[in-house]
Structure 1
Amino acid sequence: MPITEFASLSLIPPNTLSDPHVIDLFSKVSSWQSSSSGYPLTFFTNPAEPAEIYLITGWDDVRAHEKWIASSRNQELLQIAEGFINIIGMVHLDLDFNEFPVGADSLVCVRTTSQGVTKDGSEEAKLKNVESMQCGWTGHGRNVEEVGAGVYYFAESDAHLDSEDGGKEDTVYKRIQLKMVKFT
Structure 2
Amino acid sequence: MQKLRRIDIIRILMEYVKDELIICNIGCPCKELCCVKDRAENFYMLGSMGLCSSIGLGLALSTDKKVISIDGDGSVLMNLGSLSTIGHEKPDNFILLIVDNSAYGSTGNQPTHTNNTNLCKIAQACGIDAVEVSDEKELREAIKKSLNENKTKVIVAKAIPYNEKTENIKIHPIVIKDRFMKAVKN
TM-score normalised per structure 2:
0.29
Larger Rg: 1
Task: Write 1 or 2 for the structure with the bigger share of helix.
Answer: 2
Task: Write 1 or 2 for the structure with the bigger share of strand.
Answer: 1
TM-score normalised per structure 1:
0.29
